[in-house]
Chain A
Amino acid sequence: MRRLRAAAAFATVTALAATASACGGGSDTGGSGGNDSPKSLTYWASNQGPSIEADKKILTAELRKFEQRTGIKVKLEVVPWSDLLNRILAATTSGQGPDVLNIGNTWSASLQATGALLPWDRAAFDAIGGRARFADSAVAAAGAPGKDPAAVPLYSLSYALYYNKKMFADAGIAKPPATWDELVADGKRLSKDGKWALGAEGANLANNIHQVFVLGKQHGADFFDSAGKPTFTSEGAVAAVKQYVDFMAKDKIVAPGSAEYAQNQSLRDFSTGRTAMVLWQAAASTFAAQGMKPEDWGVAPVPVPAGTPDAAKNVNSMVAGINISVFKNTHNRDGALQFVKFMTSDEEQRILNKTYGSIPPVKAAQQDPAFGAPDTSVLRETLLRSAAPLPQVPEESQFETAVGTAVKDLWADAAAGRAVTTESVEAALAKAQQQMPK
């Protein structure tokens, strides 16, 4: 019995200790797309609207159209942003994934490196009407330079400055700020009586990256050199991160509570009049869902250091957007291409981008008057003139995590009243750089 107890104890201990072990990955089932399941498709859509349910409703109507035309039934799943990358990673490892999926365009090069996504060579592009239909800047954010893109642009977005007209009028400010100096000056007038000038999402790594990338560009810095090596500690990168966190630490125009925001709470603060400005991509539908009337807010280009936004020296947004990809292991390659063709058709591009408040990356659809409304025209002009794609390197995902976390920690310092200095910013970025794969 003693031996038995020992065996049982060993089994128990092994089982319990094993809970810490790494999970085994699946293996590639080969596959560059088969056609053994021609009448069905699985589609993972990213959450674009105010809620998952809203997206289901919007997309189901369009998918029904596709089914009527092709006889192919599309099984839709709207995946929240917080889960999407993990889900894609799991699908890549196991070979069991959807046929078609949306990806954040900033992940394109990282996911391209996994080899899980169908490369869009000339033949594949021709099957959906040709590469020339799409805006160049959008295709540039669909994979590493010099390689066939891993995805096709679906919705294009850029950042804009949304501002509360009433709060501006109450503070005696006639127009939205065009430069950062103006934004800080206006912000100091707006930040009073428990209200704050600018919203931020301090604990949202991706958002942190989007903001410091643009500020970095304005300081003449890139976070990677031409060889793809990280340069997080360059003078410009340090200045950019410090400038962003200083909105709270030094200028006091961002609410300390924003340091813990990661679930778009800054939009709620804006809708409820707690903050006067927010830097966001296509927020109109969210504001409406949160009860804000369209006439209550205005939209302007994101400020620049001086002068006006210009592609040469005053980049004021990253090329944001959503791409659509075909999973290499698809069981319905032809159907998947048909589906991408449908989703990127002029008609669907108009419908979907209108609904989501984004800009169609398909040139023909961009001309629709609906995209000339005040808010979307700012986004469109920004995309055309002054947006730059995030670094299209395989390590982009690690960069978002490492630098995004460094900025998040600096926000926490600022919120706690600890000093944020050039040295502390540099140290945080140096640590982030050392965490990057060699």
Chain B
Amino acid sequence: MTPPTPAPTAVGAQAPPERAERAEPARARRRGPRAPGRIRHASLPYLLLLPALALELLIHLVPMVIGAVMSFKTLTQFYIRDWSTAPWAGLDNYKLSVDFSAPVGKDLLDSFVTTCLFTVASVALCWLLGTAAAVFTQESFRGRGLLRALFLVPYALPVYAAVITWAFMFQRDNGLVNHVLHDQLGLGGDRAFWLIGDNSFYALLTVSVWKGWPFAFLIVTAGLQNIPKELYEAAAIDGAGVWQQIRRITLPSLRPVNQVLVLVLFLWTFNDFNTPYVLFGRSAPKAADLISIHIYQSSFVTWNFGTGAAMSVLLVLFLLVVTGVYLLLTSRGRKSANV
């Protein structure tokens, strides 16, 4: 599908028309024979990627490899001054992590399940709210700019400041949440606990969605810019209602954008450390024990860095598999859609 407007946007930008692609080699031919040392056209993209790949190697891959090496060591406080001297543990850390009959493995599994439930719920709600808000503000109306700006406030606030404010609001005795629910609306008998016990899951989910949905809104808003108005006009002439237009035009057109959006939200949410850490401190309640906090605890609180590293490696493998499968499925979907 080629957009009617030539202005590309950050998301959903289209490839330029073929004529433009052919124009560059034509110009190159007019300049005569290739000068020695001239960058070959085919390798140019890779050269452009090189700085990013070098930094990727330095910032991500090297620490990942070190982390993987650590996972095969008995790394406790006795060795952290020079972790390379820690004795090899073989697969012991991995066995400990996946022994679901023992406390360490069982807790990791519980934390993993909690994280999966939390991620699915958070991503779904973020996407739903973001999409709804983007569709709602698609048409121009008075105050739309202000409303859009307001929607983005949670995304613009520093995470720590925002989450610590939520932590105050969720306090049982003096928090705003219970004040509204209990004192003003008269709901329930006793004041609920939000920062300990089972409700902590919902407190965490609330903050996560509040923090995450503006990003979904931003991306979907950008995606909506690329849907030609003519499609809606044609559909309206054919008698399609608003809901049908959303179902038949908006959502299918947003598919490529949503695929990236859901993947990014999934990874961010699954690995979210800041929110639970600021909300609950070093030891999160069991109901909100996300895997990022759990691994942090294993490493930095109980000082079993080898076990923590093994858990991290397992987590990375899981995320790579999920992401790989997701990309495979979505690329197949794209291919079949193009046929």
* Chain A positions near chain B (C-beta within 8 angstroms): 4, 7-9, 11, 13-25, 27-28, 82, 86, 89, 92-93, 95, 110-111, 113-116, 202-203, 205, 255-257, 259-260, 262, 394, 397-398, 401-402, 404-405, 408-409, 411-412, 415-416, 431, 434-435, 437
Contacts and interface: CB of A to CB of B under 8 A. Distances in A.
Contact of A11 (B49, B271, B304): B49
B172 A401 contact: no
A95 B316 contact: no
A22 B171 contact: no
12 contacts: A9-B327, A15-B56, A16-B323, A17-B267, A18-B60, A20-B271, A21-B67, A22-B313, A92-B81, A114-B81, A203-B195, A437-B76
B70 A17 contact: no
Interface in B1-60: 45-46, 49, 52-53, 56, 60
Given A16-B267, A27-B84, A21 B312 contact: yes
B196 A412 contact: yes
Interface in B306-329: 308-309, 312-313, 315-316, 319-320, 323-324, 327
Contacts of B292: 20
B104 interface: yes
Given A16-B267, A116-B81, A24 B195 contact: no
A100 B267 CA distance: 41
Given A11-B52, A18-B60, A431-B103, 12 more contacts: A9-B327, A16-B319, A20-B316, A22-B71, A22-B312, A24-B63, A110-B303, A113-B77, A116-B81, A404-B283, A408-B196, A415-B197
Contacts of A23: 63, 67
Interface stretch (B124-132, B145-153, B208-216, B293-301): B293-301
Contacts of A111: 77
A24 B84 CA distance: 11
B66 A24 contact: yes
A6 to B, nearest CB: 9
B230 interface: no
Contacts of A404: 283
Given A401-B283, A431-B103, A14 B60 contact: yes
Contact of B193 (A89, A255, A416, A434): A416
Contacts of B82: 27-28
Interface of B: 45-46, 49, 52-53, 56, 60-64, 66-67, 70-71, 76-78, 80-84, 102-104, 107, 171-173, 190-191, 193, 195-198, 264, 267, 270-271, 281-283, 285-286, 292, 295, 297, 299-305, 308-309, 312-313, 315-316, 319-320, 323-324, 327
A308 B71 CA distance: 52
A268 to B, nearest CB: 10
B193 A260 contact: yes
A38 B271 CA distance: 44
Contacts of B62: 24
Given A16-B264, A435-B103, A25 B196 contact: no
A75 B320 CA distance: 45
B309 A22 contact: yes
Contacts of B319: 16-17, 20
A9 B118 CA distance: 26
Contacts of A95: 81
The 10 closest A-B pairs by CB, nearest first: A22-B67, A24-B66, A18-B60, A28-B82, A22-B312, A257-B173, A24-B63, A434-B103, A21-B64, A22-B309
Contact of B196 (A9, A260, A402): A260
A18 B80 contact: no
Contacts of A257: 172-173, 191
Contacts of A4: 45-46
Given A9-B327, A20-B316, A257-B173, A405 B308 contact: no
Contacts of A262: 281
Contacts of A203: 195-196, 281
B38 to A, nearest CB: 20
Contacts of B49: 7-8, 11
A7 to B, nearest CB: 7
A89 B303 CA distance: 9
Contacts of A398: 302-304
A270 to B, nearest CB: 14
A19 B267 contact: yes
Contact of B195 (A110, A260, A411): A260
Which of B71, B196, B198 is most buried by chain A, counting CB atoms within 10 A of its CB?
Answer: B196
A95 B82 CA distance: 9
A37 B78 CA distance: 28
A392 to B, nearest CB: 14
Contact of A412 (B70, B193, B282, B309): B193
Given A14-B60, A17-B320, A205 B282 contact: yes
Contacts of B102: 434
A11 B56 contact: yes
Contacts of B283: 205, 401, 404-405, 408
B327 A412 contact: no
Nearest to B15: A1
Contacts of B327: 9, 13
Contacts of A431: 103
Contact of A415 (B56, B196, B300, B304): B196
Contacts of A8: 49
Contacts of A435: 103-104, 107, 302
Contacts of B190: 256
Contacts of B191: 257
A21 B173 contact: no
A260 B193 CA distance: 8
Contacts of A24: 62-63, 66-67, 70
Nearest to A431: B103
Nearest to B310: A22
Contact of B60 (A21, A86, A93): A21
Contacts of B323: 13, 16-17
Contacts of B316: 17-18, 20-21
A397 B285 CA distance: 19
Contact of B80 (A89, A260, A415): A89
A435 to B, nearest CB: 5
A190 B52 CA distance: 66
Which of B53, B197, B312 is most buried by chain A, counting CB atoms within 10 A of its CB?
Answer: B197
Contacts of A412: 193, 196-197, 285
Contacts of A7: 46, 49
Given A22-B312, A260-B193, A409 B81 contact: no
Which of A4, A23, A115, A431 is most buried by chain B, counting CB atoms within 10 A of its CB?
Answer: A23
Given A401-B283, A401-B297, A412-B193, A25 B172 contact: no
Which of A16, A21, A28, A114 is most buried by chain B, counting CB atoms within 10 A of its CB?
Answer: A21
A27 B70 CA distance: 13
